[in-house]
Amino acid sequence: RALLEAVARWPRRFAGPIHVAAVDHRTRAESAAEADAVVARATALGFPARSIRLDDVVRGEGPLRDARYDALLRVAEALQLRNVVVAHHQGDVAESALLSWLGRGGGPFSSSSSSRNEIAVVRPFLDLARADLRLGLAACGVDDVFADPDAKSARAVVRRDVLALLGAQRTDIEARIARSARRADDDDDALDALAARAVGAVDGERAAAGVAIERAEGAGLPILRRAVRQAVRLVGAADPRGSAEAIEIAARLMRDRRRGHVDAAGCGIDVGADGDARVTARVADGPPRTHDARAGRRLSAGGPMPTVPASVPERETE
C-alpha cells in the first residue's frame, strides 16, 4: 500500500506505462480479498490493475518468493514492461537475514535493483523502516490495515518475537542487521563473480554432459566452494543447498589438489590431482562412492571433512 500511494504521487508517474499487480498466494482465506482491495485502490488512483492468483498453493519462504516473482515477471513480459518494482523495506531485509541464518529460507536483498529475465527488479524502500512507511501512509490519510495473521509462520515469529526482543535491547538493531546482511550479500555477489570465471562456459547440452571447473592459482575455499556450487546448479541439481556438505568436501579436495570423487544431489564431482574438477549428472542415484584417492579411503558427505595427510606441512592445514 505504501508503494502504491507513493507511485500515485510520483512526479513522473505519467512518463511511461505503470501497471499494478497484487499477488494472491492462496495461503490464507483472506488473501483473495486483500489482493482485490489493492486492485480497487489502484483503480481509484488511475492505474490499470490486476490480481494474480497463483495456480498452486505453495508453502515455504523460498518457494513462495519464487512463485511470486515468476508471476510478476510473466505479467511484466506480457505487458512489455522493463521493471518490476516491489516494496521490500528495511524490516524485510532484517527478517530475511535472520531466517536465512536460522536455515529457514529468507532471501538476498543486496541492492536496490537486480535483474531477472532481463527485467529489472527495483526495491526503492530498502533504507526505510516499517514505521517510516506507516508514517507515510498516515500522512496520506491511509490506514495500514493489512497484517500477517499467520502467527505460526517463521517470518511472523522472527518479526514478533526475535526482532521485538532484540529491539527492546537496542532500538537500531533492525537497521544494523539489515545493513550487515546487505553488505554480506554484496560480498557474496563479488565472490560469485570471481567463482564464475573458474566454471567453464556451457550451453544446455554441455551442461547436461558435465561442467568443468578450472582451479585458479591462489583460489581459496570461498571461491572454490562457490564455483562447485555453480557447477552443481548448472548440471541440474534442483537446489545445491541439499549438497552443501558434498560441495564443501569437493572444494577442500580442489584446494589441496587431492584426487577424489564426491557424490552430490543428482550429480558426481570428480577432482583431479591438479585441483581441477568436473561435475557430471548421474543417470540414476546409486550407492555413494565418494572416495579420496590420495588418502586411500572413502569420503562421506555425511561424515567428517577430509583431513590433510600428515606428510603435508602443518601450515597448509586449517
pLDDT in tens, 135-189: 888 888 877 655 555 666 777 778 877 887 887 777 888 888 888 888 887 888 7
Pair 20, 47: CB distance under 8 Å:
yes
The residues near 149 (Cβ < 8 Å, ≥ 6 apart) are 28, 30
Return the C-alpha cell found at 179.
Answer: 545493513
pLDDT in tens, 45-94: 999 999 998 877 667 667 778 888 889 999 999 999 999 999 989 888 88
Pair 109, 126: CB distance under 8 Å:
yes
Distance CA 180, CA 186 (A): 10
pLDDT in tens, 240-260: 667 888 889 999 999 888 999
Instruction: Tell me which residue of 267, 271, 262 sits closest to 298, measured CA to CA.
Output: 262
Question: What pLDDT does residue 85 have?
Answer: 94
Question: What pLDDT does residue 283 have?
Answer: 58
Choice between 119 and 197, residue whose per-residue pLDDT is larger = 119
